[in-house]
Amino acid sequence: MAPSQTALVNLSPAELSFLRATLAQTPPIRLDHTKGPRDFRSMRAEYDVLPGANGSARIALEDGTEALVGVKAEVDRSPWRPVPTERETMLSVATGDMAMEDRDDADDDSKGKGQNSWVEVSVEIPGFREDDALPVFLASMLTESLLASGELKDRLYMNRRFHWKLYIDILLLSPPLSYPLALLSMTTHLALLTSRLPALKSERDENPLFDDDWDAAVALYPKTSGKRSISNQEDKPPVIVLAMAVGPNIIFDPCKEELAVADAVLAVACTSAPSSATGARIVSIRTIDPPSHLTPPGVPNSMNSATGGTVPASSADALTQRELLADSGVWTPPRGGFKRGMISQVVKMVVENGGIAEEVIGALQAIEVG
């Protein structure tokens, strides 16, 4: 899915060529000259903005793109599973045929019992229908990252009979001034990080009974006790960061003008590493077709039939003219994607100790702590 489905930039071939040349040089010069290749755009963020939701967040980027996310949890009945009798349990243990979920029930553990259908994500963008390609793709990407580790769906398990059904409603308040995937992911991360569920008073397979005191509500992602740093806290919602390649350079959090000259774009979903490790861990990686692949080539006068040039007589001649364009200094749409070595470099920059993932997750968590 191409970011070209968002706002296209109105840049001439000469401007595209100049912008790419500045981004491809060493060190790269971005449109905002104060930013380096690893720097993110400034933003305003707040949480608990929707009083009727279990969790909510709102983030606005400096270019005016703004997103609002609301998280709502409802009690839902799970598909009925018969509880094995004591004799059946003993027989299963003796023969080694006891199902894993029955062992987990015996230990009162919810790990591995959640289902993907318990999480529902919807994305609404001004000017797009719900079944348009861009909202559907964005919702699919966000859902994939949230369910990749299996931690979120397992948190929704109550008992054999009931579970939480989580609805994540994402609204882009402004037109998509830039590709909104990273913004929607960060806003969803902050909304889930601050989401709370009513405290459960019932036990085992009883009908769920909750504490009426909202101050006793349990955080969906509880804060880690102890004096560990923010970056080393585990089990946090994933965050998607965008990285683009321009020549030999890797640039994070590109704006729409920078995306217009990208050779390739990579979406990396990451979360905090376990407490015993440093850095972060990757939960999913996707390549995204950049809008630069769809920009028309800049044709010089000698090849432009409207200004006295000649029209290619055959497809072979057209290919020859395209090759000539590549050496003429006029803008040509980049082709290809990320090379393996560059993907490895992006992953290292994201997951290393003190890397991109730690910076983003730590900054979002500092908003909640502050």
pLDDT of 154-208, one tens digit each? 999 988 889 999 999 999 998 888 889 999 999 999 999 999 999 988 887 788 8
Phi and psi torsions of 142, nearest 5°: -65, -40
* Strand ranges (E), 9-148: 43-47, 55-61, 66-77, 119-124
What percentage of residues in the chain have a pLDDT greater than 90? 41
Distance CA 102, CA 100 (A): 5
Residue 237 corresponds to which amino acid? P
Predicted local confidence at residue 72, as pLDDT = 97
Query: How many residues are given for the chain?
Result: 370
Of the two residues 364 and 291, the one the predictor is more confident about is: 364
Q: Is the pLDDT of residue 129 over 70?
A: yes
Q: How far apart are CA 29 and CA 279, in angstroms?
A: 28
Domains of the chain (ranges; CATH) run: 4-295+331-369 (3.30.230.70)
CA-based radius of gyration for the chain = 25
For 166-180, the DSSP string reads EEEEEEE-S--SS--
Question: What predicted TM-score, i.e. pTM, was given to this entire model?
Answer: 0.83
Of 19-23, 158-162, 181-185, 232-236, the poorest mean pLDDT is in 232-236
Look at residue 365 in the predicted model and tell me its pLDDT: 87
Give the integer Cα–Cα distance in Å for 199 and 218: 6
269 or 223, which is more confident: 269
Query: Residue 244: CB partners within 8 Å, gap ≥ 6?
Result: 250, 251, 254, 258, 259, 262, 263, 264, 265, 266, 290
Q: Among residues 257, 286, 266, which one has the least CA distance to residue 178?
A: 257
pLDDT in tens, 251-291: 999 988 899 899 999 999 998 876 556 678 899 999 888 88
**Secondary structure (3-state) at 18:** helix
> Residue type at 227?
K
pLDDT bin (cut points 50, 70, 90) of residue 227 is very low
The band of 106, judged by pLDDT with boundaries at 50, 70 and 90, is very low
Q: What is the mean pLDDT of the chain?
A: 81
Residue 232: pLDDT band by 50, 70, 90 thresholds? very low
Q: Which of 305, 313, 263, 205 is nearest to 28 (CA)?
A: 263
Q: What is the DSSP code string of 317-359?
A: HHHHHHHHHHTTTS---------HHHHHHHHHHHHSTTSHHHH
